[in-house]
């Protein structure tokens, strides 16, 4: 599906979709437990991949009419899957499930789509090996397809912190049900650190203790997963909130505003988007108790933003920078190149088609905003949900029409994205 967007003014209310990161963890934690109801779960292509893995390990995940998931777990002991685990487009699934597979007494095979089969898994495979499991890439290039043989019993592993924090999340979640527990020693500085905070929070909610140490993280073995009342509720997703928030900042109707609901505080680093939009000059108010954010548009100015902790915000910030006056410098961004696409290059190239000048370096992107309007163009979504959504935002204020190709991939994290834009008054056509 392609989506063509005509410049539009926005007004009204949008509800934040549930957090993808919390939902993945909750489904897998519920898998490690016996029975849990996961309320307000995100049901998207990525979280369904994690649900399928839990089922292949011997659990079951049933979606109820009220959007909750009834999860029957495999009680800390995953069975050897009867089929290949297809993680589709989801890095989180592949990393978290690789460590879970290393607990099974036998061999699991994991694969994914072309994008996922190009992302780095090597350090996690080595970690499984160091824990006396066996894990290899069939092409010997550190990428999926992966073959993982367990069971591991725990121990100490060293792992880089600057490729993906998901390796650490994976090892902590699996480590809790090993015999000896797992100590993770960071070899390099941790990027995307708030995602490990999310993990520690979810683990605590499931009764599992894990902690930061002087040189990494540690989880004791022999623990059991389970929430106190057999339920878990997922908060709203701030990476997803970044889109209606940025849309309101650049295109809210004169004298009008966009209200986002379901924006309750949590451990998500991407709550930083509220401050970023504010610093750029938009009129934004976050009522943390009510979980509402109100934003109206104003002339934006370029700023410097460090995305070490918040890689998923880069595409949104790049679009904001394209509309702002002056340079927006996005720094500490090398790990943003290891996502569904190399998002640093993808945003530079696609915004370039709309007349935006950028300067790309290995670990930074500078967007040279100017007073002149963006030009509508046909841009490639590159099978990457965040690139698609960020380019659609640019289309709201570009002169003429903007067509985003391959726009259906928003189903990875935000299945109702285009319906939300329409509800806010955006004129768009699907072809």
Ligand X SMILES: O=C(O)C1=C[C@@H](OP(=O)(O)O)[C@@H](O)[C@H](O)C1
Ligand Y SMILES: C=C(OP(=O)(O)O)C(=O)O
Is the distance from CB of 128 to CB of 174 less than 8 angstroms? no
> Smallest Cα–Cα separation from 360: which of 352, 208, 132?
352
Round to whole Å and give the CA distance between 420 and 266.
Answer: 23
Assess 91 for contact with ligand Y (CB under 6 A): yes
Of residues 160-189, those binding ligand X (CB under 6 A): 164-166, 169
Round to whole Å and give the CA distance between 236 and 41.
Answer: 10
Cβ proximity to ligand Y: between 87 and 102 the closer is 87
> Smallest Cα–Cα separation from 274: which of 25, 21, 44, 16?
16
Q: Tell me, yes or no, if 75 is annotated catalytic.
A: no
Assess 52 for contact with ligand Y (CB under 6 A): no
Assess 335 for contact with ligand X (CB under 6 A): yes
Assess 259 for contact with ligand Y (CB under 6 A): no
Assess 311 for contact with ligand X (CB under 6 A): yes
| Partner from ligand Y, ligand X, none contacting 335, C-beta within 5 to 8 A by type | ligand X
DSSP state, residue 46: H
Assess 162 for contact with ligand Y (CB under 6 A): no
Assess 90 for contact with ligand Y (CB under 6 A): yes
Cβ proximity to ligand X: between 41 and 282 the closer is 41
Name, in order, each residue with C-beta under 8 angstroms of 115's C-beta and a sequence gap of 6 or more: 89, 340, 341, 383, 384
DSSP for 71-111? Answer: EE--TT-PPPPSS-EE-TT-HHHHHHHHHHHTTSSSEEEEE
| Partner from ligand Y, ligand X, none contacting 21, C-beta within 5 to 8 A by type | ligand X
Is the distance from CB of 272 to CB of 229 less than 8 angstroms? no
Q: What is the 3-state secondary structure (H, E, C) of 156-213?
A: EEEECCCCCCHHHHHHHHHHCCCCCCEEEEECCCCCCHHHHHHHHHHHHHCCCCEEEC
Cβ proximity to ligand X: between 20 and 52 the closer is 20
Name, in order, each residue with C-beta under 8 angstroms of 212's C-beta and a sequence gap of 6 or more: 200
Assess 195 for contact with ligand X (CB under 6 A): yes
Q: Is 165 within any annotated ligand binding site?
A: yes
Of residues 335-354, those binding ligand Y (CB under 6 A): 339-340
Assess 309 for contact with ligand Y (CB under 6 A): no
Q: Which residue of 143, 192, 218, 242 would you call a contact of ligand X, by CB under 6 A? A: 192
Cα 6 to chain centroid, rounded: 28
Assess 386 for contact with ligand Y (CB under 6 A): yes
Name, in order, each residue with C-beta under 8 angstroms of 268's C-beta and a sequence gap of 6 or more: 19, 21, 194, 198, 235, 237, 238, 239
Is the distance from CB of 176 to CB of 32 less than 8 angstroms? yes
Cβ proximity to ligand X: between 47 and 319 the closer is 47
Assess 268 for contact with ligand X (CB under 6 A): no
Assess 270 for contact with ligand Y (CB under 6 A): no
Assess 40 for contact with ligand X (CB under 6 A): no
Q: Which residue of 37, 68, 92, 98 would you call a contact of ligand Y, by CB under 6 A? A: 92
| Partner from ligand X, ligand Y, none contacting 315, C-beta within 5 to 8 A by type | none
Cβ proximity to ligand Y: between 18 and 76 the closer is 18
| Partner from ligand Y, ligand X, none contacting 413, C-beta within 5 to 8 A by type | ligand Y
Is the distance from CB of 111 to CB of 86 less than 8 angstroms? yes
Q: Is 192 within any annotated ligand binding site?
A: yes
Is the distance from CB of 317 to CB of 294 less than 8 angstroms? no
Catalytic residue chosen out of the listed positions 46, 237, 312, 327: 312
Cβ proximity to ligand X: between 24 and 259 the closer is 24
Q: Which residues are annotated as a binding site?
A: 20-21, 25, 91, 119, 164-166, 192, 312, 339, 343, 386
Residue list, annotated binding site for phosphoenolpyruvate: 20, 91, 119, 166, 343, 386
Annotated binding site for 3-phosphoshikimate: which residue ranges? Answer: 20-21, 25, 164-166, 192, 312, 339
Catalytic (active-site) positions: 312
Tell me which residues touch ligand Y (CB under 6 A): 20, 46, 90-92, 312, 339-340, 386, 413
């Amino acid at each position: 599906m392609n989506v063509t967007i005509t410049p539009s003014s926005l007004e009204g209310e949008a509800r934040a979709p549930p957090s993808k990161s919390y939902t993945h963890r909750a489904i897998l934690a519920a898998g490690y437990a016996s029975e849990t109801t996961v309320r307000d779960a995100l049901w998207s292509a990525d979280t369904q991949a994690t649900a399928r893995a839990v089922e292949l390990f011997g659990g079951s995940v049933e979606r109820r009419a009220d959007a909750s998931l009834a999860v029957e777990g495999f009680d800390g002991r995953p069975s050897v899957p009867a089929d290949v685990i297809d993680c589709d487009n989801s890095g989180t699934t592949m990393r978290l499930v690789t460590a879970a597979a290393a607990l099974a007494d036998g061999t699991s095979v994991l694969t994914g789509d072309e994008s996922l089969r190009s992302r780095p898994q090597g350090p996690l495979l080595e970690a499984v090996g160091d824990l006396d499991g066996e894990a290899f890439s069939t092409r010997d290039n550190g990428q999926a397809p992966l073959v993982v043989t367990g069971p591991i019993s725990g121990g100490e592993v060293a792992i880089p912190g600057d490729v993906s924090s998901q390796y650490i999340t994976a090892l902590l979640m699996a480590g809790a049900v090993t015999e000896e527990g797992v100590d993770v020693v960071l070899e390099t500085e941790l990027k995307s650190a708030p995602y490990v905070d999310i993990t520690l929070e979810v683990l605590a909610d499931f009764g599992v203790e894990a902690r930061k140490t002087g040189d990494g993280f540690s989880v004791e073995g022999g623990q059991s997963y389970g929430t106190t009342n057999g339920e878990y509720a997922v908060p709203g997703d701030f990476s997803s909130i970044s889109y209606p928030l940025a849309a309101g900042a650049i295109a809210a109707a004169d004298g009008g505003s966009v209200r986002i609901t379901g924006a309750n505080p949590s451990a998500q680093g991407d709550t930083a988007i509220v401050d970023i939009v504010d610093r750029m000059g938009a009129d934004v108010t976050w009522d943390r108790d009510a979980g509402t954010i109100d934003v109206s548009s104003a002339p934006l100015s370029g700023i410097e933003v460090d995305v070490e902790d918040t890689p998923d915000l880069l595409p949104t910030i790049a679009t904001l920078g394209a509309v702002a006056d002056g340079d927006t410098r996005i720094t500490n961004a090398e790990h943003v190149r290891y996502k569904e696409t190399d998002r640093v290059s993808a945003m530079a190239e696609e915004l370039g088609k709309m007349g935006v000048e950028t300067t790309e370096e290995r670990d930074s992107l500078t967007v040279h905003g100017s007073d002149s309007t963006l030009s509508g163009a046909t841009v490639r979504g590159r099978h990457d949900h965040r690139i698609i959504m960020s380019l659609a935002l640019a289309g709201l204020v570009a002169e003429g029409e903007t067509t985003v190709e391959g726009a259906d991939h928003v189903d990875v994290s935000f299945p109702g994205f285009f319906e939300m834009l329409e509800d806010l008054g955006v004129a768009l056509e699907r072809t």
